[in-house]
């Protein structure tokens, strides 16, 4: 056996694309019944979801074709039981698809299992099995459903850890059926979308003007190895704009030198403004060699 590595991100993306495809089909189908009585489809929503999942399974997996998500990610299902019985292979991507029995069990587990579980939960909630104080049959059934759900979630979490380690079988159904996702074509490149990265960059550009760089520098100053900020040159420069003050003002009572416009705008924007050098509250400002201006600091 030639070991192969299938991208875990591709497999997760394929599952997400299949979910979005089902949601798009459901949205279009609901629009067909938009002129009917409101709320009539709510009673049959589980049946509608099961019908759409059955259609996707019927025209993809049942006819040996990948699902829409798998097709976009260049993936297909392979019967791993046959590959384990074989010897050396050429590329590691060979192998037959799923058998008819595997396809039927896949449909029963995904379409039928999800439908039955949804109906059981809605029926138990409607009958209020969990609210009963007596030890009735309904309460026992509700507790059994809760235990089964907890066991399934724990098993799914364990399967996720194993999948992240080995890259095989992203779900319990695939692991039980030994249906592994492999590449359909060995020469297809992965298409990378930069949409989320662009959104993060746009958000960063919006937040940068709101950050107080001087406060951040003062916060990390004790951890910095460069102690040149205590020099005489740094004491003369304005700690906000890092330039030589054209109209020098002193922050009171610490008497550190600032530009007039830098100090006044900071005091007007934040009534509790603290000196960026010593973190002492600024109560007033005084022109170098002049009078005290208390209006901007007391607002």
User: What pLDDT is stored for residue 60 in this prediction?
Assistant: 92
CA distance 3 to 34: 52
**Mean predicted confidence (pLDDT) in 135-148:** 81
pLDDT at residue 236 is higher than 80:
no
pLDDT tens for residues 257-299? 888 878 888 888 777 788 878 888 888 777 776 655 544 444 4
CA distance 139 to 66: 42
- Is pLDDT larger for residue 278 or for residue 157? 157
User: What pLDDT is stored for residue 296 in this prediction?
Assistant: 46
pLDDT at residue 159 is higher than 70:
yes
> How many CB atoms sit inside 10 A of residue 141's CB?
16
Q: What share of the chain is helix, strand, coil (3-state, %, to 5)?
A: 55, 10, 35
pTM: 0.60
The domain limits of the chain are: 8-187, 248-287
Q: Average pLDDT of the chain?
A: 80
CA distance 251 to 207: 28
Share of the chain above pLDDT 90, in %: 25
**How far, in Å, are 240, 272, 275 from residue 284 at the CA level?**
17, 11, 11
Sign of CA dihedral 38, 42, 43, 46: positive
Q: Which of 57, 152, 69 is nearest to 98 (CA)?
A: 57
User: What pLDDT is stored for residue 229 in this prediction?
Assistant: 46
Q: Which of 243, 239, 244, 248 is nearest to 290 (CA)?
A: 248
Cα torsion 275, 280, 286, 291 to 10°: value is 170
- Is pLDDT larger for residue 168 or for residue 236? 168
Buried b (16+ CB within 10 A) or exposed e, 180-212: bbbbbeeeeeeeeeeeeeeeeeeeeeeeeeeee
β 256-259/75-79 pair status:
unpaired
**How far, in Å, are 216, 218, 219, 241, 277 from residue 224 at the CA level?**
12, 10, 10, 20, 15
Share of the chain above pLDDT 70, in %: 76
CA distance 36 to 51: 20
Question: For 89, left (φ over 0), alpha (ψ -120 to 50), or beta?
Answer: beta
For the chain, the first-to-last Cα distance in angstroms comes to: 77
pLDDT tens for residues 213-223? 555 666 666 66
At 293, list the tokens.
Answer: 């201006």
Contact 174, 180 (CB under 8 A): yes
């Amino acid at each position: 056996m030639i070991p192969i590595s299938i991208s875990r991100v591709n497999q997760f993306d394929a599952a997400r694309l299949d979910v979005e495809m089902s949601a798009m089909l459901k949205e279009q189908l609901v629009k067909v019944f938009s002129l009917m009585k409101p709320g009539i489809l709510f009673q049959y929503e589980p049946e509608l979801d099961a019908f759409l999942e059955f259609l996707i399974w019927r025209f993809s997996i049942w006819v040996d074709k990948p699902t829409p998500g798998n097709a976009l990610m260049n993936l297909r299902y392979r019967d791993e039981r046959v590959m384990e019985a074989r010897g050396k292979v050429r590329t590691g991507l060979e192998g037959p698809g799923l058998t008819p029995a595997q396809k039927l069990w896949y449909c029963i587990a995904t379409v039928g299992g999800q439908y039955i579980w949804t109906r059981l939960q809605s029926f138990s909630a409607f009958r209020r099995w969990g609210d009963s104080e007596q030890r009735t049959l309904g309460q026992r059934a509700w507790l059994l459903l809760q235990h089964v759900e907890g066991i399934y979630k724990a098993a799914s979490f364990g399967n996720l850890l194993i999948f992240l380690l080995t890259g095989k079988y992203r779900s319990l159904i695939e692991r039980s059926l030994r249906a592994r996702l492999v590449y359909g074509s060995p020469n297809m490149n992965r298409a990378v979308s930069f949409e989320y990265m662009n959104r993060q960059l746009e958000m960063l550009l919006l937040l940068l003007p709101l950050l107080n760089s001087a406060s951040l520098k003062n916060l990390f100053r004790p951890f910095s190895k460069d102690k040149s900020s205590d020099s005489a040159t740094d004491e003369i420069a304005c700690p906000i704009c890092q330039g030589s003050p054209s109209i020098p003002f002193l922050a009171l009572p610490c008497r550190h030198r600032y530009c007039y416009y830098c100090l006044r705008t900071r005091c007007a924007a934040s009534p509790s403004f603290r000196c960026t050098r010593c973190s002492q509250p600024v109560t007033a400002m005084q022109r170098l060699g002049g009078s005290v201006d208390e209006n901007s600091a007391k607002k």
